[in-house]
Structure 1
């Protein structure tokens, strides 16, 4: 029987309206068959590489899929297809049903597929960049235009005349491999995706990682925690597919503590809400560390066996003392770290010592050394609870209370989100908070986690059908995205001239994630050709010279195996034929490679490529079962606990209470602008670059705050992920337009009322939006949800006021690190 129902929240009228618009557009272009004339490939009807066969009548066919919009969820989907159209999306059935979830965005995906803003065919700009004036061209003409210029510029300037920018708009494996092949051939310039690097730096330096799962417990483990502290995360809005585990934990008596300057949806669920002053998180956690030590709540055995706390640090260069420092003949494999044996008080190799000293300063064969633990204790000592109370605007009694709950109502877990990440020096918050887990042993066991769970399904990229007898055109170099405005103005990066003339942007809305947008728009005038591959119009596509339409997730075969909270690999069936003239990212890469004159670099189908990536056995399992356990799950009821085996993903296999080798953050290929990283070894505090609008913690306010007194941050929109869902009608009914949240006190001081049009501005630019007065906002802080494109603002964009200044130690788009003023428009 044909299925009668539509997805909840997607009315038949709304659905037909959205698909009807697409059909009308297709009919005008003579492409009605691309939408309605081809039926899907069902489980029982398969032919070739994802080619679809006609379905009979109005039978509903079901396909496997995954939401790949980079919200780090990756939900398994059941795609309902009738007469060649995607008509409904519901949750798929995981091998373990506790993971079965779907959100508003997932249910709205049919409207996303059939959105009238989809790019229908290749186009060439005919007006000024950003004018929206285009002419339709064929695929043959588009590919020839691009590659003819690439070849001419490589001949004239070298391969560094070609550049690439990619993000995570399509977290599929096929895209990753396709881009790798294209870049592997041409080399050129990779513009680094400088997002969340303060988070990555702090997490990797303190906890390390295993590539397959990063460094946190499986989220299903929340149910086993007796205390959970959420830091910088509005979990109920940004990761609500996981919330049921937290709710189940609360029903079992778990205490929930939320650290957030704004009274959020998650704060409303908390037992204790800590309304911290923005950017002072490291101070709070260092004060908590002092309380833990003072109260004797440390787990000394855990510190000795699982952390670098007993390792000896040389005063002369802040590195660990090793056997090779004492005996030059020691080889790398035997170069153990040195500790002081508690029984003999003598230096010995750590692997030979059952009970090392945690504290002390010593002289060892001419080296003055101190334990890593003492250096940590010394670093946090100034950050007393009294100091933290004043600096963080949190009562001493509350700091005492949350520390006691975390230490005594165990096992305890920390969840550090990205809300406090997008400011300079924010990595210190991750170092300081993770240290609490190390001090108390609340990590590496069920119910006790401090990291971030993000499985990465392993697949084989370098060895996929290697090219024999053919050399790449040149090497790939990398430059920081946050440096691009300066680079476009000068052509100079790190003291070298780079002749970048062409840029290809794919799988990311670059102009939406880049701060100081107006400066970037002006700066790209130096580019001779900007090519953008996308499936819908957004802030970046509007400035393209050549625009190429790619397929939606459900119009191609792929695998979801990374950037997801789930411990599974998921098959993405080709559920419907590509609309209009859209081609997959893989097919586009193949066309470009062949047109460059290197057909041997790509002579396989997308299915052959995926089979080579996973191996025939895993690939056949995926095709048959659609959902399979990730390789690191040894049996179906096993849920990952990071460090459960006592091995940690660091150079020393220990947790870093003291960081021996601070990293810059982001890519190692990008040079560090700060030569002295000595302050990076231990937790500490420095104010952010710009968003410091009050004198606090002994630091004077930024003088710019006299002109722009409000600190502006971005929120993860509940009904969006970057601009992936910006024009989906049902989601816009729930959240119609961009807005700015401000406190009643700040609104009253400016004569602003609820719903007023207001101008948000600074020296970089401005945007006009609706004002929302929020009783849970602290004075001096404003907040804007992201996920809207520039055409949805009354004028301007939040990206016009955003900062693009990175720090010396960490290239990052610090989208919460800006000061603004707000006035009635």
Structure 2
């Protein structure tokens, strides 16, 4: 990055001067006025006075559980470089976003398709024509097929506080559209955790391992992914600090990751077989009489059934499946049971691999329950979500009562739903759908939703597609109307990860919108006005108005947000909410509350899972494309990515 700055005429000395100025930002406090770093008498040259430092946030926070604040220096209306916040560091992704802003391949103006879908051939049009087309196509499809014929899909690219309510309100004030449910990333973790503990918010902050004797990091690449912390690099610092204090770190991962390299022990495992090892550990703990009998008797439902169930899962059996030696499985199980407090952190990777990986999540939750590693410092109950910031847009702000469309499509099954006309609902039931139009904002569905060929086939079936994005993504090439969006640096916003960490970070507008790009809010406001619902949609609200009203509404049901105002965020840049560290179920273990399951206990035997035709007890299912599958001889390799 320094080379890039030098190429643009910025000397190394000047780079260091600006870095020092940014480092002084915390010290100057409210001397930062309107994005301008107040100059001291010692630095009053014209060049210094022209440079401004803006408080920003990493745009990757829509996809990353970390929420890293940044400082953007701007001169002559152009971002000169991105700096770390003096206290909280950002990874390379955050620093690279200056290149995103000025990438020459960004979409620059509205366009309509002139070639075949997928060819990527478009012609330039005006914004007036674009908004007319957007609005008229909505009116046309609703008039011909009804509101339920439009799939409204503002995806990960539309994260942030400014759009939280707005992206839901527009379709609702029009009578509703089909929306999505579920998650492309963690579809299994939440429901699986809830089946055992009654809530998805069952995972402790990683900070809890400061009180652990043992930390098992299972499928989490903390050195690569910034999971379960607020800022980049924080997880590895926490791990190393705990290690220095005597906490033994064990990493279970198919490949020797950077995280594994820093551990006391690395246990390689065959992808997708994690459930076999977890259940074998349960076998060892139960048969060795190492489980916490007092905790199990008081808080656990279904122990007897689980005890009988895991007899089949011996360490010797698991060794053949997982590639992990039986003695390694046994020793780790014994250590986990006898070195409490210990924290088992089941990660995202194994929750996506194999046949129904939710069974592995449930098995890990069962392990914690067996040894009583729940609700106390140094422990972790299950894989799932962390602290729930509860910054969601209330029904009144999203105009939910105006929507008459109740059907949704699972994010992972968009292609299936369009092609088959059937959509599985969150309840497990199946509903009929008949999608003719897709409006995707920040939604590169082809390379994100799985089975790209099926998605392409589905897109070709639709009557009309609108895409709003920064670049010509694979999905954008299939659009009939393609609109250029702004980056986070071109407007005001506020970033947070809803169910993990504690940071809320404000982003002030650093530069004017590039080219002819418009923000999602401006586009939606124009479309609402064109369709005659501008007042009902609040088309006159700006980004700061949407943020202020969303925070006010959310605070009514979330006391920890009571003192979080837009003015405070603008002043402090980074605001923390909730208990730190978050350790779920402390009140339950203390005896003051039941667990939020139907029985009020930790449920190893789940009647809800059984009612859906799923195993009532955590079960290893081996029928997936592994080395024992009939296709293994032809396709012997398994892809394993760090996401």
Match of residue 60, structure 1, among 40, 52, 67: 52
Q: Residues of 2 paired with 1:592 and 1:55: CA distance?
A: 43
Q: Is the 8 A contact 1:73 1:241 kept in 2?
A: no
Q: Residues of 1 paired with 2:642 and 2:563: CA distance?
A: 42
Match of residue 374, structure 2, among 443, 450, 460: 443
Name the counterpart of 1:461: 393
The 3-state SS of whatever aligns with 1:228 is: strand
Q: 1:255 to 1:617 in 2, by over 3 A?
A: closer
The 3-state SS of whatever aligns with 1:661 is: helix
Name the counterpart of 2:555: none
Q: Deviations over 1:746-779 (max 9, x none)?
A: xxxxxxxxxxxxxxxxxxxxxxxxxxxxxxxxxx
Name the counterpart of 1:13: 7
Match of residue 561, structure 1, among 493, 496, 501: 496
Q: Residues of 2 paired with 1:449 and 1:404: CA distance?
A: 17
Q: Residues of 1 paired with 2:8 and 2:213: CA distance?
A: 44
Name the counterpart of 2:168: 180
Q: Is the 8 A contact 2:468 2:484 kept in 1?
A: yes
Name the counterpart of 2:216: 229
Q: Residues of 2 paired with 1:74 and 1:411: CA distance?
A: 29
555-564 or 240-249: bigger deviation: 555-564
613-622 or 384-393: bigger deviation: 613-622
The 3-state SS of whatever aligns with 2:188 is: helix
Name the counterpart of 2:365: 434
Name the counterpart of 1:548: 483
Q: Residues of 2 paired with 1:455 and 1:87: CA distance?
A: 36
Answer yes or no: is 1:121 the counterpart of 2:109: yes
Q: Is the 8 A contact 1:412 1:447 kept in 2?
A: yes
The 3-state SS of whatever aligns with 1:518 is: helix
Answer yes or no: is 1:693 the counterpart of 2:630: no
Name the counterpart of 1:171: 159
Stretches of structure 2 lacking an aligned partner (at least 5 in a row)? 11-30, 37-45, 227-232, 425-429, 553-561
The 3-state SS of whatever aligns with 2:408 is: strand
Name the counterpart of 1:3: none
Aligned-residue offset at 1:478:
0.8
The 3-state SS of whatever aligns with 1:539 is: coil
Match of residue 76, structure 1, among 69, 73, 84: 69
Name the counterpart of 2:314: 384
Answer yes or no: is 1:270 the counterpart of 2:257: no
How many residues in Structure 1 have an aligned counterpart in Structure 2? 582
Q: Is the 8 A contact 2:408 2:423 kept in 1?
A: no
Name the counterpart of 1:324: none
Match of residue 453, structure 2, among 500, 518, 526: 518
Q: 1:183 to 1:456 in 2, by over 3 A?
A: farther
Q: Is the 8 A contact 1:63 1:80 kept in 2?
A: no
> Over aligned residues, Cα RMSD in angstroms?
2.9
Answer yes or no: is 1:248 the counterpart of 2:241: yes
Q: Deviations over 1:207-250 (max 9, x none)?
A: 3337xxx2222222233222111212222222244111001111
The 3-state SS of whatever aligns with 1:680 is: coil
Name the counterpart of 1:215: 202
Name the counterpart of 2:146: 158
Answer yes or no: is 1:412 the counterpart of 2:342: yes
Q: Is the 8 A contact 1:70 1:168 kept in 2?
A: yes
Q: 1:685 to 1:459 in 2, by over 3 A?
A: closer
Alignment of 1:334-373 (within 5 A): 372-373=302-303
Q: Is the 8 A contact 2:388 2:500 kept in 1?
A: no
Q: Is the 8 A contact 1:551 1:578 kept in 2?
A: yes
Q: Is the 8 A contact 1:165 1:193 kept in 2?
A: no
Q: Residues of 1 paired with 2:396 and 2:72: CA distance?
A: 30
Name the counterpart of 1:708: 635
Answer yes or no: is 1:106 the counterpart of 2:94: yes
The 3-state SS of whatever aligns with 1:662 is: helix
The 3-state SS of whatever aligns with 1:686 is: coil
The 3-state SS of whatever aligns with 2:312 is: coil
Aligned-residue offset at 1:279:
1.8
Aligned-residue offset at 1:464:
5.1
Q: 1:408 to 1:499 in 2, by over 3 A?
A: closer
Q: Is the 8 A contact 1:457 1:569 kept in 2?
A: no
Q: Deviations over 1:6-38 (max 9, x none)?
A: x6685432799xxxxxxxxxxxxxxxxxxxxxx
Answer yes or no: is 1:660 the counterpart of 2:613: no
Name the counterpart of 1:203: 193
Structure 1 residue ranges, 4+ long, deviating more than 6 angstroms after superposition:
none
Answer yes or no: is 1:611 the counterpart of 2:611: no
Q: Deviations over 1:603-622 (max 9, x none)?
A: 23322221111129532222
Q: Is the 8 A contact 2:203 2:584 kept in 1?
A: yes
The 3-state SS of whatever aligns with 2:156 is: coil
Aligned-residue offset at 1:437:
0.9
Q: When the two structures are superposed, what TM-score results if normalisation uses the length of structure 2?
A: 0.84
Q: When the two structures are superposed, what TM-score results if normalisation uses the length of structure 1?
A: 0.66
Larger Cα-atom Rg:
1
Aligned-residue offset at 1:104:
0.9
Answer yes or no: is 1:89 the counterpart of 2:79: no
Name the counterpart of 2:21: none
Aligned-residue offset at 1:413:
1.0
Stretches of structure 1 lacking an aligned partner (at least 5 in a row)? 1-6, 17-41, 48-53, 310-371, 664-674, 695-701, 717-825
The 3-state SS of whatever aligns with 1:150 is: helix
**Higher helix fraction (1 or 2):** 2
